[in-house]
Chain A
Amino acid sequence: GENVEQHPSTLSVQEGDSAVIKCTYSDSASNYFPWYKQELGKRPQLIIDIRSNVGEKKDQRIAVTLNKTAKHFSLHITETQPEDSAVYFCAVRDRTSYDKVIFGPGTSLSVIP
């Protein structure tokens, strides 16, 4: 089955700086890669996703890049703000297991004002 790793586990940046979180996966057949944000005490919510037929996707201050050959994808947040502080989870849809979605262990991002 699919194995998803995520780094770093914690990340602290100054407000206005950029933050990058990287995930690696094991199954080359995987074709859908979402990122979820979970604020303290709240449920996870989708913030951006990418399919395997594109290499990059942007939505305002966030972007995701995908390297299928190396089997890794990254979340980029520019001009970070305190409200970006949260736990971010990457995920992968496992095509070999009925399209089940598997989550990475999460990255706790702190944006220091």
Chain B
Amino acid sequence: GAGVSQSPSNKVTEKGKDVELRCDPISGHTALYWYRQSLGQGLEFLIYFQGNSAPDKSGLPSDRFSAERTGGSVSTLTIQRTQQEDSAVYLCASSLAISQGNEQFFGPGTRLTVL
């Protein structure tokens, strides 16, 4: 079946512009995560959606970052007034409800470059 998809695969933007990154999770997966991975670095947790619960936004680095998940499916990560330090690969992952399984399936990522 289809895996997690993300778009765009690459995004180049100018400093100060807003960007939107999209994630389509695997159908039926209730949990959705966003991570940021800078070159050669680890997976920095950004935000977590679990079913209808309020999202865990504790990893968002500043108020320029926001995310939403419409209808419990597609998620959009928005970065306003981008800065050069926002350049990284943004990874989305989804999983079944905890009671059904635990494996996170990652998308291919969006490589963001802020000039």
* Chain A contacts to B: CB under 8 angstroms: 1, 32, 34, 36, 43-46, 49, 89, 93, 97-106
Which chain B residue lies CB-closest to A107? B42
Q: Are the CB atoms of B42 and A49 closer together than 8 Å?
A: no
- State the CA gap A14–B109 with chains docked (Å): 32
Which chain A residue lies CB-closest to B97? A99
Residues of B contacting A32 in the complex (Cβ-Cβ under 8 angstroms) = 102
Q: Are the CB atoms of B43 and A34 closer together than 8 Å?
A: no
Q: Are the CB atoms of B56 and A44 closer together than 8 Å?
A: no
> Which of A44, A49, A105 counts the most B-chain CB atoms under 10 A from its CB?
A44
Indicate whether A44 sits within 8 Å of B103 (C-beta atoms), given known contacts A98-B48, A99-B98, A101-B33. Answer: no
Set A34, A36, A100, A105: member contacting B56, Cβ < 8 A: A100
* Chain B contacts to A: CB under 8 angstroms: 31, 33, 35, 41-43, 45, 48, 50, 53, 56, 58, 91, 93, 98, 102-104, 106-109
Indicate whether A44 sits within 8 Å of B106 (C-beta atoms), given known contacts A97-B56, A98-B50, A99-B50. Answer: yes
Q: Are the CB atoms of A45 and B48 closer together than 8 Å?
A: no
Which 5 pairs between the two chains have the least Cβ-Cβ distance? A43-B106, A105-B42, A103-B43, A106-B42, A46-B103
Q: Are the CB atoms of A102 and B45 closer together than 8 Å?
A: yes
Q: Are the CB atoms of B108 and A34 closer together than 8 Å?
A: no
Indicate whether A103 sits within 8 Å of B53 (C-beta atoms), given known contacts A43-B91, A44-B106. Answer: no
- State the CA gap A49–B103 with chains docked (Å): 9
Residues of A contacting B107 in the complex (Cβ-Cβ under 8 angstroms) = 43
Indicate whether A34 sits within 8 Å of B103 (C-beta atoms), given known contacts A99-B50, A99-B98, A100-B45. Answer: yes
Q: Are the CB atoms of B109 and A43 closer together than 8 Å?
A: yes
- State the CA gap A46–B42 with chains docked (Å): 15
Residues of B contacting A99 in the complex (Cβ-Cβ under 8 angstroms) = 31, 50, 98
A-B contact pairs, 22 of them (CB 8 A): A32-B102, A34-B103, A36-B104, A43-B91, A43-B109, A44-B91, A45-B106, A46-B103, A46-B104, A49-B103, A89-B42, A93-B102, A97-B56, A97-B58, A98-B48, A99-B50, A99-B98, A100-B45, A100-B48, A102-B45, A103-B45, A106-B42
Which chain B residue lies CB-closest to A93? B102
